[in-house]
Amino acid sequence: MIYDLFEAATGMTMMHNYFRIGGVAADLPYGWIDKCLDFCQYCLLPKIYEYERLVTKNPIFLKRVQGVGFINRQEAINWGLSGPSLRASGVQWDLRKIDHYECYNKLDWQIQWQGEGDSLAQYLVRIDEMKESINILRQALKLLPGGPYENLEGQRLVQKKDKIDWNGFNYQFVGKKSSPTLKLPKQEHYIVPQLIRGMKLADIVTILGSIDIIMGEVDL
């Protein structure tokens, strides 16, 4: 259903080419906002409650995740963790709150965190963040501005292309530099040895799942 909403707005299910400097590629189709709000209220929120009833207090689940993959507060900071892995270790840090970028400072929302630092805490943070995301989305939809959607800044670039100082302050952020590639020493890995030391083999799946490794960012 989420993919359907994205496709209705951007024309693509994945790899969305939608945002532009100064606007977006196309306006939202008629009725999209109502469909999005209905999805939050009648589809997503009930599913989250269903997950909680099924999983959160399930004794089998709790036995597999509680006390497993523990990361304390100082380790989370020293290792440069972010997201739920950081906030599950008692660090109330969310860049959206700290930097006030985009419209997050205009919305009423809270940082979701836990203090235990284990796989259960990371799960609980993610569940709470799904609920908080619905709260953020509902408010953001009300703040959608009126007016034109087209790429007004892009049009100005085309009109003034012969007069633009591309090295000037106004355009220094237009280009995006690629992130540096960090090459680890042979046979060394991020974090994992500290988390799995002394654990059972079956716990490795739980620990890797709680870290939520994105395979596209892993050097295979």
Q: At residue 140, does pLDDT exceed 60?
A: yes
151 is a domain residue: no
Q: What are the pLDDT digits (tens) for 48-85? A: 999 999 999 999 999 999 999 999 999 999 988 889 99
Is the pLDDT confidence value at 22 over 80?
A: no
Dihedral angle of Cα 203, 207, 125, 218, to the nearest 10 degrees: -160
Q: Give the number of other Cβ atoms within 10 Å of residue 187's Cβ.
A: 5
The answer as to whether 169 is a domain residue is: no
pTM summary value: 0.78
The reply to whether 104 falls in a domain is yes
pLDDT at 162: 58
Q: In this structure, is residue 197 part of a structural domain?
A: yes
Residue 163 forms part of a structural domain: no
Q: Assign residue 53 the CATH number of its domain.
A: 1.10.645.10
Q: Has residue 53 been placed in a domain? A: yes
Handedness of CA 73, 77, 80, 83 (dihedral sign): positive
Domain enclosing residue 49, as ranges: 29-143+185-217
CA dist., res. 187 & res. 127, Å (int): 34
Share of the chain above pLDDT 90, in %: 54
Tell me: the pLDDT tens digits for 78-104?
988 889 999 999 999 999 998 888 889
68: CB partners within 8 A, 6+ apart: 118, 119, 120, 199, 203, 206, 207, 210
Residue 136 inside a domain? The answer is yes
pLDDT value at residue 21:
73
The pLDDT of residue 9: 94
From the number of C-beta atoms within 10 Å of its C-beta (0-12, 13-18, 19+), residue 207 rates as buried
Which candidate, 45, 124, 55, 51, places its Cα nearest to that of 87?
Answer: 124
For the chain, the domain total comes to 1
